[in-house]
Chains A and B, each alone.
Chain A
Amino acid sequence: MKRQVPIMLAITASFLPVIAFFFPNAWINEWFNRKLDEWMVIIASFAFLLGIVSMVQVNLHKVRRRQKGWIFSVIILVSFAIMASCGLFGAQGERENGTLYPFTWIFQFIYAPMQATMFSLLAFYVASASYRAFRVKNMEASLLLIGALIIMFGRIPFGALIHPVVPDLAEWIMRFPNAAAQRGIIIGAALGAASMSIRVMVGIERPYLGKS
């Protein structure tokens, strides 16, 4: 039963929207499509709960055993408790007197700058990596380098100062060679997703059981 029931549920839930797609009947659409979408929103919310429980368990375990870096686990748990309290017992946004609620204040003045800082560090690593790794070793690498330079110049106002055609050339690369390559990647990924979905639908792939 522990195996059969989840498999039957997965097969039924995955085939119902497909049936609804081919039978445009109001009753079928209501129950096989709309209701399932609403349930999905509710079920997806429980994934958060699962994530929270897992995060708390892992970090509590680390703190109890004084594992390496346990102090960071303490920071995570304290931060989580503060944000959760502010979110659960307070509102978001701006008060009538123009001041911010604690949740929004912490988000805007602590969390957001820290996240932006982490993302900005990429510029430093990109510069360092491109100096060390972007080498003209063969024809393909040379073409990649030329394309990259045109795009990099074309995406900044300096490009037009070098020659008015540079931004147009960059746009042409984005619209045609880039779009063609992207299409190949997107179609390939979609075919892979479709085949994976079919395997789940017919019960060959069973990630929801914990193993295939």
Chain B
Amino acid sequence: MNWAHKLLLIDRRIIFVVVFVGALIPIIWPIGLAVQISPPVKAVFDRVEAMKPGDAIMLSFDYGPSDGPELDPMANSILRHCAKKGIKVIGVSLFPLGGVEMAIARFMQLDTDLKARNGIDYVNLGYKDGAPAPMKAMGDRIESVFPCDANGVPYSEIPVLEGIRSYDDLELAISLATSIIGEWWINLVNAQFGIDVALGTTAVSAPKYYAFMEAKQAIGVLGGMKGGSEYEELVARAYPDLKGLSRSATMGMDVQSVVHLVIIFFILFGNVMFIVTKRMTRGAN
């Protein structure tokens, strides 16, 4: 076994340590690299920015805690953007593994950040099982699916829901989605009821949604932590008074950048060693 072959079979714990150190350094000493804005994120921001005060959107929390680090920053930015514009937010959750708790946490964060009022500026309608069925039924009457909010207040007694009966009364539906639920928002809600749909997804899922975006079935896609950091940047540029609020995706991008570089290094190094090993073996033969 030659030296190059030994390097190829390096103990994976060494790789783990390098990734760990790579992730740790930017947390201790943030780099603060500039965020580049991509068209899919700009499209979502522009659509929300073009709304008038009093317009309403539906924000669906279709993810659990494992996707929180990627999708929570998107939820925070969108909620802050809507609060600043005076846009009503109707929160729902169709994801069984903790979606409603993710929504509760984000709305609590909004209360802390901007003193938004539950029931007046926004409402959290809670969770409903069997995602495609509630999605379809809300096209007819939202109240039939969510007769009360997450705190048990009847639909008809919630001021922010006044005049909102179905998707027809909403400007936009945004799904922060993991798994297949994002696709259902496009296939069932956009295709059948015509309401604009935007998606916030994990970086792993984002490539799939580009196909829907190119087919004009989704107005835009926020992909992973990068998508979240771009939305944070756009909101901060448009509303400088929000710059002081936490921007966890922007901070996370430093870590993601370094870890990407570490992985790229390992891929290239592994391939160089692979070629060297092959040549050495051929030479020996």
Q: How large is the interface on B (under 10, 10 to 19, 20 to 34, 35 or more residues)?
A: 35 or more
**Pick the contact of A41 from B38, B129, B261 — CB < 8 Å?**
B129
B238 within 8 Å of A (CB atoms): no
Enumerate B228-263 residues with CB–CB distance to A below 8 Å: 253, 256-257, 259-263
Task: Please state if B130 and A171 are interface contacts (CB–CB under 8 Å).
Answer: no
Task: Please state if B150 and A93 are interface contacts (CB–CB under 8 Å).
Answer: yes
Q: In the complex, which residues of chain B have a beta carbon less than 8 angstroms from the beta carbon of A104?
A: 101, 104-105
Task: Please state if B144 and A38 are interface contacts (CB–CB under 8 Å).
Answer: yes
Task: Please state if A41 and B134 are interface contacts (CB–CB under 8 Å).
Answer: yes
Q: Which of A54-62, A72-80, A123-131 contacts B (4 or more CB under 8 A)?
A: A123-131
Q: In the complex, which residues of chain A have a beta carbon less than 8 angstroms from the beta carbon of B184?
A: none
A11 CA to B134 CA in the complex, in Å?
Answer: 22
Q: In the complex, which residues of chain B have a beta carbon less than 8 angstroms from the beta carbon of A178?
A: 207, 210-211
Chain A min CB distance to B211 (Å): 4
A68 within 8 Å of B (CB atoms): no
B284 within 8 Å of A (CB atoms): no
Q: Mark B258-278, 1 if CB is under 8 A from A, else 0.
A: 011111101101110011000
Q: In the complex, which residues of chain B have a beta carbon less than 8 angstroms from the beta carbon of A119?
A: 66-67, 69
B208 within 8 Å of A (CB atoms): yes
A91 CA to B151 CA in the complex, in Å?
Answer: 8
**Pick the contact of A40 from B19, B69, B133, B211 — CB < 8 Å?**
B133
Using CB atoms, name the residue of chain A closest to B108: A94
Using CB atoms, name the residue of chain B closest to A34: B140
Q: Mark B58-97, 1 if CB is under 8 A from A, else 0.
A: 0000001111110000000000000000000000000010
Using CB atoms, name the residue of chain B closest to A186: B211
Q: Mark B12-34, 1 if CB is under 8 A from A, else 0.
A: 10011011100100000000011
A37 CA to B263 CA in the complex, in Å?
Answer: 47
Using CB atoms, name the residue of chain A closest to B17: A124
**Pick the contact of B19 from A34, A47, A115, A123 — CB < 8 Å?**
A123
Q: Which of A1-9, A132-140, A194-202, A204-212 contacts B (4 or more CB under 8 A)?
A: A132-140
Q: Per DSSP, are chain A's interface residues mostly helix, strand or loop, or mixed? A: helix
Task: Please state if B133 and A157 are interface contacts (CB–CB under 8 Å).
Answer: no
B137 within 8 Å of A (CB atoms): yes
Task: Please state if A124 and B65 are interface contacts (CB–CB under 8 Å).
Answer: no
Task: Please state if A131 and B269 are interface contacts (CB–CB under 8 Å).
Answer: yes
Q: In the complex, which residues of chain B have a beta carbon less than 8 angstroms from the beta carbon of A40?
A: 130, 132-133
- Given the known interface contacts A40-B130, A93-B151, A128-B15, the answer about A153 and B264 at a Cβ–Cβ threshold of 8 Å is yes
Chain A min CB distance to B200 (Å): 16
A161 CA to B226 CA in the complex, in Å?
Answer: 16
Closest 3 pairs (CB-CB, A-B): A44-B130, A157-B33, A112-B65
Known: A37-B134, A153-B260. 16 other contacts (CB 8 A): A93-B151, A108-B105, A112-B98, A118-B66, A124-B15, A124-B19, A127-B262, A132-B8, A135-B274, A155-B224, A156-B260, A160-B36, A161-B33, A167-B38, A175-B214, A180-B211
* Contact sample, A vs B, 29 pairs, CB 8 Å cutoff: A34-B140, A34-B144, A40-B132, A93-B151, A107-B98, A112-B101, A115-B98, A116-B66, A123-B259, A124-B15, A127-B259, A128-B16, A131-B269, A132-B270, A134-B267, A136-B271, A152-B260, A153-B260, A155-B226, A155-B260, A156-B253, A156-B260, A158-B33, A161-B33, A174-B207, A175-B210, A178-B207, A179-B211, A186-B208
Residues of chain A at the chain B interface (Cβ within 8 Å): 33-34, 37-38, 40-41, 43-45, 47-48, 91-94, 104, 107-108, 111-116, 118-120, 123-124, 126-128, 130-132, 134-136, 145, 148-149, 152-153, 155-161, 167, 171, 174-175, 178-180, 182-183, 185-186
Residues of chain B at the chain A interface (Cβ within 8 Å): 8, 10, 12, 15-16, 18-20, 23, 33-36, 38-39, 64-69, 96, 98, 100-101, 104-105, 108, 128-130, 132-134, 136-137, 140, 144-145, 150-151, 203, 206-208, 210-211, 213-215, 224, 226, 253, 256-257, 259-264, 266-267, 269-271, 274-275
